Structure 1
């Protein structure tokens, strides 16, 4: 654990000037580590922050010990600068913590209820895909509901295109075709999503929310929780829009995802 106090003038604290990763670790071995490091390195490149280095980061998962853990890494630009202008000689600050973890296994089998969010994501292609520290849109969206039976909220952008859930990526099956929203303008390119794009026939598309009512199945996924089927969708007022049965689901995408994470496929 390396989570000592952050100085008052840290730019990550002051401006969200930094990045983070949350990595699933099993018995000291990180899952989708290459994808996490690629996203972190790309984020550092986009923000102009010095990457901490693969050797420095590679030893951290082993500190988690036996069992399942989530390793959270935070990299900020460090301290200094005048207002928003960063210093030319900034020294990046790395903080990390590993915590025991247990996935929501019932969601793998029974599925989840989700809602449409009222908040719309703004476009900023220079930040699209990376996991930067300024997640205020997601915070505001997550404040829209308090019903514990609603597992997630689905977000569209300012043009009405589907993008993601508040902390998971979105997938759907449309006939024989598997699709996921394009994240060229906004949203987080999840590492599980990256792994599935690499080895599955998964298509990135621009679609509006109408596809949610037409799809044969909807799914949510990330590199920590695995893949959840969506069984019911409600609007922002709680009105049911569509329901799906888990009885005859094509679980091929879930099987691919869980193989990447070492999770079992529901019976």
Structure 2
């Protein structure tokens, strides 16, 4: 683990990330220190920094630190955490900010391959997402809603839970973004009021455009998901998981989802080779 570029495993107790969740993070996959899908990871990190008025680290510096912490691992999970750094008590942002930058890596634990191949069973979560447009889309450090939602079940047969906002609109999974297919078109929740705009979500949107698949960001209701021809969830570590079962509804084939999975595999392989 590197903290502001130096080996370490602790931060100042007055750090605003610890005190207020004042910061953001990204989680990604790396092979021997080379991050996959870095284009989308970097775009999202830079956008979130701008939204939170955090100084964005130099891209080359981050890549060098990822290579340092994960360079000996054939496959690793890399986490980048940025906070507003240490400050005096009180919520007000300090006039000057010396950000804290944490880059760490762990060996890949993996997910069962059958989740991508045969699809997953998911459930609805009771925990609702608060509507706060100011933080919509940002992968900030305040993730207690997701913690409570993911703690609602312990059945290993359930791979993910889908979350609604306070109005009952479908937003995302506890750790993933959601897409549905209807009439050959791709739909994904509009994230202008809450939720995380993930790097894999951005990648899928680009893949769909490349394949000529129409995409719309809309407000989805639970009945829209249950009536979909196909549905899938995605994140940067899991890739794309087709939905097999939800609330009594079953899906047995995912032709459009398979096209996106193949396109994702192609660019992941190209990314690993190129870097």
Task: Give me the TM-score of the superposition, normalised by structure 2.
Answer: 0.88
2:118 matched to which residue of 1? 110
Report deviation, 1:206: 1.2
1:238 matched to which residue of 2? none
- In 1, the alpha carbon distance for the partners of 2:143 and 2:196 equals 10
Report deviation, 1:120: 1.4
1:242-261 map, 5 Å: 242-246=249-253, 249-250=255-256, 251-261=258-268
1:42 matched to which residue of 2? 47
Contact 1:10 1:78 in 2 (8 A): yes
Report deviation, 1:199: 3.3
SS in 2 for 1:118: coil
Work out which of the residue numbers 215, 218, 221 in structure 2 matches 1:208.
Answer: 221
Contact 2:232 2:241 in 1 (8 A): yes
SS in 2 for 1:229: strand
| Alignment deviations for residues 189-230 of structure 1 (CA, whole Å, 9 cap, x no partner) | 111110121231332111111112211111111111111111
1:224 matched to which residue of 2? 237
| Alignment deviations for residues 150-170 of structure 1 (CA, whole Å, 9 cap, x no partner) | 110001111221110000111
2:96 matched to which residue of 1? 89
- In 1, the alpha carbon distance for the partners of 2:64 and 2:101 equals 13
Moved more, 198-207 or 144-153: 198-207
- In 2, the alpha carbon distance for the partners of 1:74 and 1:94 equals 6
Contact 2:14 2:88 in 1 (8 A): no
Work out which of the residue numbers 124, 127, 152 in structure 1 matches 2:160.
Answer: 152
Query: Which structure has more helix as a fraction of its residues?
Result: 2
- In 2, the alpha carbon distance for the partners of 1:29 and 1:55 equals 12
Work out which of the residue numbers 126, 136, 142 in structure 2 matches 1:128.
Answer: 136
1:53 matched to which residue of 2? 58
Work out which of the residue numbers 31, 35, 52 in structure 2 matches 1:30.
Answer: 35
User: Are the structure 2 counterparts of residues 37 and 53 from structure 1 closer, same or farther at C-alpha, using a change threshold of 3 Å?
Assistant: same
Q: CA RMSD in A?
A: 1.7
Report deviation, 1:98: 1.0
Moved more, 174-183 or 56-65: 56-65
Task: Give me the TM-score of the superposition, normalised by structure 1.
Answer: 0.90
Please identify runs of 4+ aligned residues in structure 1 that moved more than 4 A. none
Report deviation, 1:103: 3.7
- In 1, the alpha carbon distance for the partners of 2:177 and 2:267 equals 16
SS in 2 for 1:61: helix
Unaligned runs of 5+ in 1: 235-240
Report deviation, 1:39: 1.5
Unaligned runs of 5+ in 2: 3-7, 271-275
Report deviation, 1:61: 2.7
Contact 1:78 1:91 in 2 (8 A): yes
